[in-house]
């Protein structure tokens, strides 16, 4: 694992701003990230457009809890946060802006974004339950490539909801509506609380 992380510390990546610029540009061209035709359908492109609106809203409204801000500012050793994402991913739209807000609290945190489907060796090292390429996925490392913690793709409560809906066979539109409704009510709190637990257990 360390060899993969060390390699990724040398890989080209997106900043949050350049990632946002990429998905905005693709949206204007009627596209989203990824070369898989399954992600370039009218339905997914409309979903990706909604994801941009979701990110814009969270960028403007996210408020980090005081305990989160305190934990972030207690980091005294440089960290690199590798974040796997895609523009068509609804969970990423809800979570990536929160992680960006966290990283901005401490200049020692270097947030680097990677598109999942262009970096499958990293993704496949962090499969959900050993089988699913689920994103977003955050891997925090030292500057030497030692893992500090990893998290994702979604808070536990959201994962339970997602799993229940998927196993019941509801249409994707229904699943997405209920999942994003959960995120709206939660107001990023669960994401923050779970990441705070990892941060406080691993401050370096």
Residue ranges of domains in the chain = 2-154+189-201
Q: What is the mean pLDDT of residues 118-133?
A: 94
pLDDT at position 35 is: 83
pLDDT at position 129 is: 87
pLDDT at position 21 is: 98
Kind plus residue range of the DSSP H or E element containing 112: strand 109-115
> pLDDT tens digits, residue range 22-68?
999 999 999 999 988 888 999 999 999 999 999 999 999 999 999 99
- Percent of the chain surpassing pLDDT 90: 91
Cβ atoms of 5 and 138 within 8 Å: the answer is no
- 92 pLDDT higher than 90: yes
Kind plus residue range of the DSSP H or E element containing 138: strand 137-142
Cβ atoms of 134 and 152 within 8 Å: the answer is yes
Q: Is 154 helix (H, G, I), strand (E, B) or coil?
A: coil
Kindly report the CATH class assigned to 2-154+189-201.
alpha beta
CA angle 133, 128, 15 (to 5 degrees): 55
Q: Choose between 1 and 86: higher pLDDT.
A: 86
Closest residue by Cα to residue 97 from 107, 79, 85:
85
Cβ atoms of 109 and 103 within 8 Å: the answer is yes
Cβ atoms of 17 and 103 within 8 Å: the answer is no
Cβ atoms of 32 and 45 within 8 Å: the answer is yes
Q: CA 12, CA 55: separation in Å to the nearest integer?
A: 23
- 204 pLDDT higher than 70: no
CA angle 57, 62, 64 (to 5 degrees): 170
Q: Choose between 84 and 129: higher pLDDT.
A: 84
Q: In the chain, what are the helix, strand and coil shares in percent, each to the nearest 5? A: 55, 15, 30
């Amino acid at each position: 694992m360390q060899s993969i992380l060390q390699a990724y510390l040398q890989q080209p990546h997106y900043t949050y701003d350049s990632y946002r610029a990429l998905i905005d540009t693709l949206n204007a061209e009627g596209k989203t990230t990824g070369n898989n035709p399954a992600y370039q359908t009218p339905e997914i492109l409309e979903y990706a457009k909604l994801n941009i609106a979701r990110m814009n809203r969270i960028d403007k409204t996210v408020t980090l809890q005081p305990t989160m801000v305190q934990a972030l500012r207690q980091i005294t050793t440089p960290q690199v946060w590798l974040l796997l994402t895609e523009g068509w991913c609804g969970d990423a739209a809800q979570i990536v802006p929160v992680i960006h807000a966290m990283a901005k609290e401490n200049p020692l945190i270097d947030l680097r974004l990677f598109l999942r489907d262009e970096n499958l060796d990293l993704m496949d090292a962090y499969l959900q339950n050993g089988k699913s390429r689920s994103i977003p996925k955050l891997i925090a490392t030292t500057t030497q490539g030692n893992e500090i913690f990893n998290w994702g793709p979604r808070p536990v409560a959201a994962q339970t909801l997602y799993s229940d809906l998927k196993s019941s066979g509801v249409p994707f539109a229904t699943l997405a509506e209920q999942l994003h409704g959960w995120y709206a009510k939660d107001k990023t709190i669960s994401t923050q609380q779970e990441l705070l637990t990892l941060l406080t257990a691993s401050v370096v």
